[in-house]
Amino acid sequence: MLLRYTDCTFGYRARTSVLDSLTLEFPSGHTALLGPNGAGKSTLLSLGASARTPRTGRVTWGSLDSARSRDRGEYRRRIGWLPQRIEPVPGLTVREQAAYAGWLKGLSKRRAWDGAAQALDRVRLTELADRRSHQLSGGQLRRLGIAQALVHRAELILLDEPTAGLDPVQRGVFRELVSELSGTTRMIVSTHQTEDLADVYEAVVVLDRGAPAFQGTIGDFLSLAPAAPAERRAETAYRGLVRGEV
């Protein structure tokens, strides 16, 4: 199945649109979502997670419509989401917060509890499972957010800047996790980091000022900068597509 946006318009004020009649289909496999600040990446992912509803148009996962009341529960069970800001839940331990996220997605208490342990192990937080979540560092809290998106074993996970605040070792753990999930769970990852695109992702979508500037395979993306040094090809290709910060 594919995540599709069809003629989607969304804005935070009545006369201002972040996305205007956007039509976009994300390919299979892990996809990097690139774009300057203000391009609409976070808005796009929040619509995909059904956290927001477009003013016009549709967001669908297969036959499931994110805005249709009879589809919404199943849609949210199949799609996980990591927003930019992860908030600790007062009074909950790390494992309890991860389990709570699974319960909200429809898992039984037992399945959510067991799934939380597995998800925390995948993001290397098992040793902190009994710590209160508000005691985590910023990087640890980001990893808890990733665990929350993994608990219910979604078919697709939307991640908004998941490596922000992570040190190089923690970013390495994230890259390993993405590789482990290849073939079982797809990811769409909003990121500003282009240095390891070819090692982690199969496809790239570049969003600029609310519209797709590029969508295609990693190979097609890198071919936009054939003369650049290998270590700079992704960055050079990206810079050639966008019009700068907005």
Overall pTM surpassing 0.85 (yes/no)? yes
Whole-number Å distance between alpha carbons of 129 and 92: 10
Per-residue pLDDT of the chain (246 residues; tens, 9 = 90+): 899 999 999 988 766 789 999 999 998 889 999 999 889 999 999 999 999 999 999 999 999 999 999 999 899 989 989 888 889 999 999 999 999 999 988 889 999 999 999 999 988 899 999 999 999 988 888 889 889 988 988 899 999 988 877 788 878 877 887 888 777 789 999 988 888 788 889 999 999 989 999 999 999 999 999 999 988 999 999 999 987 554
Whole-number Å distance between alpha carbons of 218 and 208: 18
In 26-91, where do the E strands start and end?
A: 31-34, 56-61, 64-65, 79-82
Could you tell me which CATH class the domain 3-241 is placed in?
alpha beta
- Give the domain ranges of the chain: 3-241
Rounded to 5°, angle at Cα 91 from 85 and 93: 75
Structure tokens at 200: 């982690």
